[in-house]
């Protein structure tokens, strides 16, 4: 059961891991979560009285499902305090999740947990209001390199507001999209999260993402 509960937490992380493409200039073709080796985002996460900072960075690519994906690192993976997500762009507003890696502690030892998708899960940042899009992803769970189980998860993406303007960490962001994500897994209650995205910048604010109440973008660096 503890593996299954951790799996649900890992799946919830994918909601802030999106695609890849170049170039990343502003315009109709620029990404709502820009992806290119060299990008780096710094966030503040708060939940109740707890506040901390973490980075999201792109330093490499990897092949999954016959496609070249960008490796998004959340936190410090080498220190067992982060996660790797392999994602591929379906368009400038939709992204395929192909693989996720994280760590869990088993009897005092750190073991790598991998979710390997045979059918990727698509995350949408659509500009069409109140038109939910649902996609199902499935694959295999590996613990320490050994096959543990299979999984299936359903994600519904729905843009609930456009043209949002908000001040975040002293910076004003306009023309953002607010997207509602509902993650469903058999045997568990749905997990609902919200993301505010700025074209050419990415995730600016998250609500109930990564098991924390609020995420806010502090700064970002382009390649």
| SS3 category, 180 | strand
Q: What is the pLDDT of residue 15?
A: 53
Q: Which residues contact 56 (CB under 8 A, 6 or more apart)?
A: 16, 40, 41, 43, 72, 73, 74
User: Residue 148: which residues within 8 A CB-CB, separation 6 or more?
Assistant: 3, 141, 142
CA 10 to chain centroid: 10
pLDDT confidence of residue 172: 97
| Structure confidence by residue, pLDDT tens digits, 21-60 | 333 344 457 899 888 999 999 999 987 788 999 999 999 9
Distance (Å, whole) CA 90 – CA 96: 6
Q: 213 pLDDT exceeds 80?
A: yes
| Mean pLDDT, residues 154-183 taken together | 97
Can you name the residues that pair with 131 across neighbouring β-strands? none
CB 114 within 8 A of CB 85: no
Q: Which residues, at least 6 apart from 62, have a Cβ–Cβ distance to it below 8 Å?
A: 68, 69, 71, 86, 99
pLDDT at 1 > cutoff 50: no
Write the pLDDT tens digit of every residue in 125-141.
988 999 999 999 999 99
Q: Is the pLDDT of residue 20 over 60?
A: no
**Token pair belonging to 220:** 């970002």
- Residue ranges of domains in the chain, CATH in brackets: 2-221 (2.40.360)
Beta bridge partners of 112: 103
* Mean local confidence (pLDDT), 99-123: 95
pLDDT at residue 5 greater than cutoff 70: no
Return the pLDDT at 212.
77
Kindly indicate the confidence band of residue 89, based on its pLDDT and cuts at 50, 70 and 90: confident
Distance of CA 97 to the CA centre of its chain: 9
Q: Name the phi and psi angles at 14, rounded to 5.
A: -65, -20
Query: Could you read off the pLDDT of 53-79 as tens digits, one per residue?
Result: 999 999 999 999 999 999 999 999 999
Percent of the chain with pLDDT over 70: 87
Q: What's the whole-number average pLDDT of the chain?
A: 87
């Amino acid at each position: 059961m503890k593996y299954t509960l951790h799996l649900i937490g890992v799946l919830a992380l994918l909601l802030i891991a999106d695609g890849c493409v170049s170039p990343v200039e502003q315009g109709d073709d620029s990404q709502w979560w820009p992806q290119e080796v060299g990008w780096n985002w710094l966030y503040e996460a708060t939940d109740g009285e707890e506040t901390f900072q973490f980075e999201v960075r792109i330093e490499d690519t990897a092949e999954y499902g016959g496609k070249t994906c960008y490796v998004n690192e959340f936190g410090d993976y080498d220190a067992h305090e982060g996660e790797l997500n392999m994602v591929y762009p379906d368009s400038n507003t939709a992204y395929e999740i192909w693989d996720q890696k994280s760590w869990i502690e088993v009897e005092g030892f750190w073991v790598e947990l991998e979710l390997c998708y045979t059918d990727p899960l698509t995350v949408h940042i659509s500009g069409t209001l109140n038109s939910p899009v649902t996609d199902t992803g499935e694959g295999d769970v590996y613990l320490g390199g050994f096959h543990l189980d299979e999984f299936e998860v359903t994600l519904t993406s729905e843009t609930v507001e456009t043209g949002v303007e908000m001040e975040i960490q002293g910076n004003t962001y306009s023309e953002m999209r607010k997207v509602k994500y509902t993650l469903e897994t058999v045997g568990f209650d749905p997990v609902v999260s919200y993301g505010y995205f700025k074209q050419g910048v990415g995730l600016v604010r998250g609500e109930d993402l990564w098991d924390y109440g609020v995420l806010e973008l502090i700064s970002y660096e382009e390649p």
